[in-house]
Amino acid sequence: MPGEAASALFQVVAQRYLKTSIIVNTNRSVGEWGEVLGDTTVAAAMLDRLLHRSVVLNLDGDSYRLRDHHARAENLRKATTATRQPLQ
């Protein structure tokens, strides 16, 4: 993430901190935020505000998108193998 974007995101979090709710949904762990944002100091400050008085829900399971993708791929595989004719 470009530095300006990380800084802008931090400003949003800082302005909303202790004033209103913030919901964050991510597929990255808290430990990866410094790398994703490109600045560990900004990430630490943002996480400090986000995690203070927070409720963290960690959801673990199969992705619905991947489940659908795997089902379509399996159906396609079955359809293509069923219609193949042996070479003569």
Cα-Cα end-to-end distance for the chain: 56
pLDDT digits (tens, 9 = 90+) for 28-82: 999 999 999 999 999 999 999 999 999 999 888 877 777 788 888 888 888 877 6
pLDDT digits (tens, 9 = 90+) for 1-29: 777 899 999 999 999 999 999 999 998 99
CA distance 76 to 66: 15
CA distance 50 to 15: 12
**Residue given tokens 């709710």 in the structure block:** 21
